[in-house]
Amino acid sequence: MNTLLLHPDTPGDIERAGALLAAGQVVGIPTETVYGLGANALDGAAVKQIFAAKGRPADNPLIVHIADFSQIFDLVAAVPDAARRLADAYWPGPLTIILPKAACIPDEVSAGLETVGIRLPSHPVARAVIRAAGVPIAAPSANTSGRPSTTTAAHVMEDMNGKIAAVLDGGACQVGVESTVVSLAGEQPRLLRPGGISLEQLEAVLGPVAVDRAISQPIGDDVRVSAPGMKYRHYAPHAPVTAVCGDPAKGAAYIASHLTAQAGVICFDEFAGQFDGHIVRTIGRADDPAAQAHAIFDALRAFDDTDVTAIFAQCPDDSGIGLAVANRLKKAAGFHVIEV
Ligand code: TXA
Ligand code: MG
């Protein structure tokens, strides 16, 4: 398959992407979090092609993206008051809300669960292409399963060239980590994946939110997790990663004293000078987790073009969007975490 590279500023390209989606094809689309691998969410056969292109396990459900709030009513069994309040506060934006699904959601999307995740993205190109398709769009992150998520059209091409119909190039994603996934399908609101909307922001609207333990701990194969995607090794570059958490200056010193000759470093800007002779990627200042979120997947991917044999990465603390950055780094490290 010849994968088309489309540009939102080229007249007709958004409509072309929409027509491909409406015809049951898979298209890479920009969102404010990461690029998504989109297909018609109401067409099980179209959705199956997403799983094939990514090499994604069939038991991992997909998020359904809408362009306007009113579309949610056809996709879920009911919209509780808590969902409305979350949507008022944070939609359009980097938040996915899990609710009991409506009958129209194919099993391919929900992976056999009784629930479905809904997201109204804020990226104008994402919304324009969903409108052009005329259907809700199921979309996981547009990476090969297990690799770091894709935050530029070039990343999507790297993983998907020849496997999907087209990629719509909307530039670099602003947030850089995936949406926050919160379940309102149980008795208590539950954070399943930290992301662009922080736990503190969720609790400001919902009150106490339970935090799934898969966010900060490794989960064994035998354990049933609330978000199936959380159990897989994820976001991983080829070289093994060690995540270094705790005081940033101590962490930098730890890394400097443990670096082997062929090791690379992901560090906060102010420590970049401490690793002379090594390949270093900076991700923003230690006190700027939003900058770190924006840079983290590109940094993880960049090492796959090098011959580093190990990667040491500085990890932020859990406040604000730092929780999401730390979660992605710990998962990339297979939870090989050093606390300094
Ligand atoms: O920002 C994002 O959310 C991006 C963009 C493209 O919107 N999408 C994304 O999708 O990250 P994906 O498939 O890579 O991650 C979705 C996560 C997975 O961990 C999945 O298991 C979980 O959400 N999930 C989806 N539907 C679910 C459901 N019904 N119940 C529990 N977890 C669900
Ligand atoms: Mg993903």
96 lines ligand 1 (CB under 6 A): yes
212 lines ligand 1 (CB under 6 A): no
Q: How many Å lie between the centroid of ligand 1 and the Cα of residue 47?
A: 14
pLDDT digits (tens, 9 = 90+) for 86-137: 999 999 999 999 999 999 999 999 999 999 999 999 999 999 999 999 999 9
Q: How many Å lie between the centroid of ligand 1 and the Cα of residue 63?
A: 5
164 lines ligand 1 (CB under 6 A): no
Specify the amino acid at residue 240.
P
pLDDT category of residue 225 using cuts at 50, 70 and 90: low
Q: How many Å lie between the centroid of ligand 1 and the Cα of residue 64?
A: 9
Q: Residue 224: is its pLDDT beyond 70?
A: no
123 lines ligand 1 (CB under 6 A): no
pLDDT category of residue 62 using cuts at 50, 70 and 90: very high
Q: In this structure, which long-range contacts are made by residues 71-79, counting pairs with CB atoms below 8 Å and at least 24 apart in sequence?
A: 71/136, 72/118, 72/120, 74/102, 74/104, 75/41, 75/101, 75/102, 75/104, 75/105, 75/116, 75/118, 75/136, 76/100, 76/101, 76/102, 76/116, 76/118, 77/101, 77/102
pLDDT digits (tens, 9 = 90+) for 260-275: 999 999 999 999 999 9
- Tell me which of 113, 180, 181 to substitute to probe ligand 1's pocket, judged by most ligand atoms within 8 Å of the beta carbon: 181
What's the pLDDT at 328? 96
pLDDT category of residue 216 using cuts at 50, 70 and 90: confident
Q: What is the average pLDDT across 76-83? A: 98
Ligand nearest to the CA of residue 151, numbered in listed order: 1
What sign has the CA pseudo-torsion 299, 153, 109, 74?
Answer: positive
Ligand nearest to the CA of residue 176, numbered in listed order: 1
Q: What is the average pLDDT across 304-308? A: 94
Q: Which atom of ligand 1 is nearest to the CA of 60?
A: 21
What's the pLDDT at 222? 60
Residue nearest to atom 12 of ligand 1 (CA): 140
Q: What is the average pLDDT across 336-340? A: 96
193 lines ligand 1 (CB under 6 A): yes
pLDDT category of residue 203 using cuts at 50, 70 and 90: very high
pLDDT digits (tens, 9 = 90+) for 287-301: 999 999 999 999 999
pLDDT category of residue 193 using cuts at 50, 70 and 90: very high
Q: How many Å lie between the centroid of ligand 2 and the Cα of residue 149?
A: 6
| This model's pTM is above 0.75 | yes
CB 198 within 8 A of CB 59: no
What's the pLDDT at 315? 98
Q: What is the average pLDDT across 68-77? A: 98
Q: How many Å lie between the centroid of ligand 1 and the Cα of residue 337?
A: 24
Starting from the edge strand earliest in sequence, which strands make up the sheet with 137-138, in order?
4-6, 166-168, 27-29, 36-40, 137-138, 63-65, 115-119, 95-100, 180-183, 190-193, 210-211
Q: Residue 316: is its pLDDT beyond 90?
A: yes
Q: How many Å lie between the centroid of ligand 1 and the Cα of residue 214?
A: 14
* Percentage of the chain exceeding pLDDT 70: 96
61 lines ligand 1 (CB under 6 A): yes
pLDDT category of residue 231 using cuts at 50, 70 and 90: low
pLDDT category of residue 226 using cuts at 50, 70 and 90: confident
Q: Residue 228: is its pLDDT beyond 80?
A: no
Q: What is the average pLDDT across 279-290? A: 98
Q: Which atom of ligand 1 is nearest to the CA of 56?
A: 13
Q: What is the average pLDDT across 183-205? A: 97
What's the pLDDT at 117? 98
pLDDT category of residue 230 using cuts at 50, 70 and 90: low
What's the pLDDT at 221? 60
What's the pLDDT at 234? 79
Q: What is the average pLDDT across 297-318? A: 96
Chain-wide mean pLDDT for the chain? 95
Ligand nearest to the CA of residue 179, numbered in listed order: 1
What's the pLDDT at 229? 65
